Amino acid sequence: MDRRGFVKIGLAAGVAGTGNKGLAAPASRLGSGGILDAGVREQQQMMEAGKLTSHALTSQYLARIKTIDKAGPRLNSVIELNPEALKIALDMDRERSLKRVRGPLHGIPVLLKDNIATGDRMSTTAGSLALAGVRAQRDAHVTAQLRAAGAVIIGKTNLSEWANMRSTHSVSGWSGRGGLTLNPYSLDRNCSGSSSGSGAAIAAGLATLAVGTETDGSIVSPASICGLVGIKPTLGLVSRSGIIPIAHSQDTAGPMARSVADAALMLSAMTGVDPRDPVTRESVGKVGDYAAALQKGGLQGMRLGVARNFFGQHAGRDAVIEQALRDLKAQGAVLIDTPVPNVAKYGDSETEVLLYEFKADLEAYLKDYAPNAPVSNMAELIAFNQRHSQQELPYFGQEYLEQAQAKGDLETPAYKDALANNRRYARDEGIDQVMKEHQLDALIAPTDGPAWLTDFINGDHFSGGFSSPAAVAGYPHITVPAGYVQGLPVGLSFVGAAYSEAALIRMAYAYEQATMHRRPPQFPPSVSLAAR
């Protein structure tokens, strides 16, 4: 199953004259670079040199959100701001002044997708009005990990409601609570889903980093379409506890960033064994040194399987990726054309598994993290949406919720059979088989097509993404900017075996540094056919 997930402007995005001490320079203008478009290491260097404070950096991002997200192009990517963000930033500055720096993310502003629990004054809603105003009992494990690393959580990002698992005719990037997120590379086009807000926000420079979540494509597709790096980790590398679920057999959180280095540093902070999520125990001894993997020569001698059965859906996209293949060879990679086998054998069974697990996992989350919510299970959620249909169902329905409600429990033989089918054909007779047969270090393919026009009549228009094999297998997947089609970003995917994140980061970084395709968006109202 492949679910992912208007006005011209001519104003500055900068926030000169904020009155904050510690500013290194005025905030950047649209697409001009500057401290707000800089990466983790650059921002840390300035803070270490005393030329920037976390409070000043956070203030500038909050002002840029006001200028770009809530006014100007009105991207609508941030669903809620953290009222404690500036206080947290000050606390991080005080720690730095006492020579207590927690790590690379100390004082770095981060946005979280609004299905990741925060035990603070912000709501955690998955974009649903049914959870509007509902505060989680405690932080998700990934939130706690980022706080412990010194990150400043500045807000929550909009998303495709219920992580795009609500309707068979959904519009990615829309939620009842948050409305529609716009694509900063063309405001009339879609960001893909479901981490739409995280993708748009980081592309637009509204924070240094963001967290997305993925069940099938919801990190890598919006990252590709928004010109970002996205990492979908191995299932179990990052805890699932405290994340509003779709399906425990595929759900994971992961970083979305403007560079491979930033994504790698964030991933290091997100990992860790969580007693509330037993699968994380499988990561012991398998967490790599992701910072050390940032090597420019990382493609030399690497054997890459070109997944040709994921080409042919979009000519412009394929042309971009063919150039990427030439660039990979120029960096010393060995390319072997080979399809990923058996991908058609788990499409229906993937959907089946997601429906069963969504029903069970949602009820468990609500009981544990949101016991005071007005809904406590799938049936009550469906009824809530029916009662509030003008706000929740104006454009598309809730077919997936209704199908999930009709399923039995997780002891149902049909569920167990579908899950076994997924693992057989995505892992054993899928990625594992082809990588072993050709002695591959990774599989590569186009991540997704360029952004489509947002269409509330017909819904989304996907064009052959590469997310499902890694998603169903629970294996890692990294996308890196590879070029543009009419000014719209296209990503190149690297997929590997379980816990091969370090190797994938090394290859992705080498490709990124050799090509440096990413350029910041200019917020045009529509695509210019003269763009390249």
Three-class HEC string of 108-130: CEEEEECCECCCCCCCCCCCCHH
- Catalytic status, residue 194: yes
Instruction: Answer yes or no: is 532 within a domain.
Output: no
Instruction: Answer yes or no: is 227 within a domain.
Output: yes
- Catalytic status, residue 407: no
Name the residue type at position 80: E
Among 160, 192, 194, 468, the active-site one is 194
Instruction: Answer yes or no: is 29 within a domain.
Output: no
Nearest-angstrom CA–CA distance, 298 and 432: 22
Instruction: Answer yes or no: is 24 within a domain.
Output: no
Nearest-angstrom CA–CA distance, 532 and 483: 9
Tokens of 207: 């924070």
Residues shown for the chain: 532
What is the CB neighbour count within 10 angstroms for residue 525?
14
The rounded mean pLDDT for the chain is 93
Quote the pLDDT of residue 528.
84
Among 28, 59, 77, 113, the active-site one is 113
Place of tokens 């993937």: 350
What is the CB neighbour count within 10 angstroms for residue 255?
31
Maximum distance among all alpha carbons in the chain? 64
Task: For residues 388-413, give the mean pLDDT.
Answer: 98
Domain, as residue range, for 195: 39-274+289-515
Quote the pLDDT of residue 25.
32
Instruction: Answer yes or no: is 531 within a domain.
Output: no
Instruction: Answer yes or no: is 22 within a domain.
Output: no
pLDDT tens, 441-488?
Answer: 999 999 999 999 999 999 999 878 999 999 999 999 999 999 999 999
What is the CB neighbour count within 10 angstroms for residue 439?
10
Quote the pLDDT of residue 463.
79
Nearest-angstrom CA–CA distance, 333 and 45: 33
Quote the pLDDT of residue 112.
99
Give Cβ neighbours of residue 45 (< 8 Å, ≥ 6 apart). Answer: none
Q: What is the pTM (predicted TM-score) of this model?
A: 0.94
Instruction: Answer yes or no: is 130 within a domain.
Output: yes
DSSP strand E in 197-291: where?
A: 209-214, 229-232, 252-257
pLDDT tens, 124-167?
Answer: 999 999 999 999 999 999 999 999 999 999 999 999 999 999 99
pLDDT tens, 408-437?
Answer: 999 999 999 999 999 999 999 999 999 999
- Catalytic status, residue 156: no
CATH code, 375: 3.90.1300.10
Report residue 530's pLDDT band, with 50, 70 and 90 as the boundaries. Answer: confident
Is residue 323 helix, strand or coil? helix
The number of folded domains in the chain is 1
Task: For residues 358-374, give the mean pLDDT.
Answer: 98
pLDDT tens, 491-522?
Answer: 999 999 999 999 999 999 999 999 999 999 99
Among 218, 239, 249, 468, the active-site one is 218
